[in-house]
């Protein structure tokens, strides 16, 4: 921090020596450092023991391990994706490169389209819209790529109502930003930075909470997809594609392999394969009131979610938070009790023992205070009685 140059770019991993996930990431981290160096990337790779360099960890507000961030021109960018080589390398290339990448030819445009599922492009000359676009890119570059181009670079099939314009290309089509109907540019980009239908993992699902949309999920088996899993997947994809205009403002669609993450959300075992709609803004969820066998059934379910006729479960109320805390504790401690009963008893019993000792000491202190008060009352009464006798003697 004291010797780095103003233009130096650093990709840093904060770790703790006792952290299992940090140890698992170590070989991947060395591969990332070696590969970026061999590619001639301007990104420097380093790591810091947060338990030793506490001042540095505090400066970067490290709250969990491993924490991955990039420092570029004094701006900190946090990485929240999967701890994989591909995910971190993509983050390094995206954030370490230009904030807005220029597409100077149709060939470059087509190459970018082939590489990215979602692509935002500013079209036109310098304007206030371009300034807003740059501001949004500075914050959201951790999630997606941003490009700029002139009108003649885009395919002729792309029709723009006016210039300048911001266009998102995804799902084989494109949408143009309209301030009147879409609101603030940054919020619109945040909503549209995911494909309409795709495979979703726990990291992506967590990130989708910022979009403000509900997520329609087909939960399928992880390895061997049975006929029922394939039916749910195709049904959700068909509705996502065929009814894009109706539901794109309110829903994202996708499928997730397994149900471990969703089990934690609903605090129970979810049947797989099945369908669920998740409200990530408040940890709520919707379950179909009946069997979903046809497209009509799924459409009725989604319409019921929108009009409020389908009940929302879960949420983030105080009661739900207490229930989730108890559920998480149960899920965490059950494997411990099954594999090491003595350790489990210690982990559960130790906090209760400390609490019992604390309560005992409080009660004892209160009892001593009460005894002192009683003694004071007795002394006061004796003093008053003595004064009374003295007064009577003087009167005599």
Query: CB neighbours of 283 closer than 8 A, spacing ≥ 6?
Result: 265, 314, 315, 316, 320
Nearest-CA neighbor of 142 among 187, 97, 183?
Answer: 97
226 in catalytic set? no
Q: Which CATH architecture has domain 101-192?
A: 3-Layer(aba) Sandwich (3.40)
Q: How many DSSP H helices and E strands does the chain contain?
A: 14, 15
Query: CB neighbours of 345 closer than 8 A, spacing ≥ 6?
Result: 337
Distance, in Å, from the CA atom of 196 to the CA atom of 176, rounded to the nearest integer, reads 16
Vertex 309 angle, CA 308 and 312, to 5°: 65
Q: Which of 19, 312, 345, 363 is catalytic?
A: 19
H helix intervals, 200-307? 202-207, 227-242, 244-247, 260-266, 295-307
Beta carbons of 298 and 235 less than 8 angstroms apart: yes
Beta carbons of 183 and 132 less than 8 angstroms apart: no
Spelled out in words, what is the top-level CATH class assigned to the domain 9-80? Answer: alpha beta
22 in catalytic set? yes
Digitized pLDDT (tens) for each residue of the chain, 396 residues in all: 777 777 889 999 999 999 888 999 999 999 999 999 999 999 999 999 999 988 888 888 888 889 999 999 888 999 988 889 999 999 999 999 999 999 999 999 999 999 999 999 999 998 999 999 999 999 999 999 999 999 999 998 999 989 999 999 998 899 999 999 899 999 999 999 999 999 998 888 888 888 889 999 999 987 777 888 899 999 999 999 999 889 988 999 999 998 888 888 888 888 888 999 999 888 899 999 998 999 999 999 999 999 999 999 988 788 877 877 776 676 666 655 566 566 556 655 667 678 778 777 777 777 665 555 555 544 455 555 555 555 554 455
| Strand spans (E) along the chain | 9-15, 43-49, 67-72, 75-79, 101-103, 118-123, 146-149, 165-170, 173-176, 197-199, 214-220, 251-257, 274-279, 284-286, 313-314
Report the predicted TM-score, pTM, of the whole model to 2 decimal places.
0.75
Tally Cβ neighbours within 10 Å of residue 27: 10
Distance, in Å, from the CA atom of 117 to the CA atom of 355, rounded to the nearest integer, reads 54
Size (the chain), residues: 396
Distance, in Å, from the CA atom of 360 to the CA atom of 363, rounded to the nearest integer, reads 5
Query: CB neighbours of 49 closer than 8 A, spacing ≥ 6?
Result: 15, 16, 17
Q: Which of 22, 345, 362, 363 is catalytic?
A: 22
What ranges do the domains of the chain cover? 9-80, 101-192, 197-319
Which superfamily does 197-319 belong to?
Glutaredoxin (3.40.30.10)
Q: What does the DSSP 8-state code read for residue 64? A: S
Decide whether 9-80 matches 197-319 in CATH topology. yes
């Amino acid at each position: 921090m004291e010797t780095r140059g103003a233009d130096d770019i650093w990709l840093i991993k904060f770790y703790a020596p006792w952290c299992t996930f940090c140890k698992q990431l170590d070989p991947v981290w060395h591969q990332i450092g070696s590969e970026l160096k061999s590619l001639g990337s301007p990104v420097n790779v380093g790591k810091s023991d947060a338990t030793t360099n506490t001042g540095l960890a505090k400066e970067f507000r490290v709250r969990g391990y491993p924490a991955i961030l990039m420092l570029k021109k004094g701006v900190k960018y946090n990485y929240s994706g999967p701890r994989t080589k591909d995910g971190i390398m993509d983050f390094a290339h995206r954030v370490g490169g230009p904030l807005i990448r220029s597409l100077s030819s149709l060939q470059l445009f087509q190459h970018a389209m082939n590489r990215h599922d979602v692509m935002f492009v500013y079209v036109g000359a310098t304007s206030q819209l371009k300034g807003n676009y740059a501001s949004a890119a500075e914050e959201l570059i951790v999630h997606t790529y941003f490009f700029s181009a002139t009108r003649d670079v885009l395919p002729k099939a792309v029709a723009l109502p006016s210039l300048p314009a911001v266009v998102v290309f995804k799902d084989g089509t494109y949408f143009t930003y309209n301030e009147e109907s879409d609101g603030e540019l940054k919020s619109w980009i945040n909503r549209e930075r995911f494909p309409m239908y795709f495979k979703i993992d726990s990291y992506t699902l967590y990130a989708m909470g910022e979009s403000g949309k509900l997520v329609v999920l087909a939960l399928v088996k992880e390895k061997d997809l049975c006929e029922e899993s394939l039916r749910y997947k195709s049904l959700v994809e068909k509705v996502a594609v065929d009814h894009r205009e109706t539901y794109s403002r309110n829903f994202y669609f996708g499928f997730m392999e397994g149900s471990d993450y969703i089990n934690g959300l609903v605090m129970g075992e979810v049947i797989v394969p099945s369908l669920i709609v998740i409200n990530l803004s408040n940890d709520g969820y919707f379950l179909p009131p009946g069997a979903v066998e046809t497209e009509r059934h799924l459409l009725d379910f989604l319409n019921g979610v929108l009009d409020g006729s389908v009940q929302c479960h879960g949420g983030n109320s105080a009661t739900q938070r207490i229930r989730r805390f108890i559920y998480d504790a149960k899920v965490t401690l059950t494997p411990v009790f099954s594999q090491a009963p003595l350790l489990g008893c210690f982990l559960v019993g130790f906090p209760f023992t400390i609490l019992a000792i604390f309560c005992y000491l409080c009660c004892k202190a209160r009892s001593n205070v009460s005894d002192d008060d009683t003694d004071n009352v007795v002394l006061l009464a004796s003093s008053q009685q003595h004064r009374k006798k003295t007064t009577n003697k003087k009167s005599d």
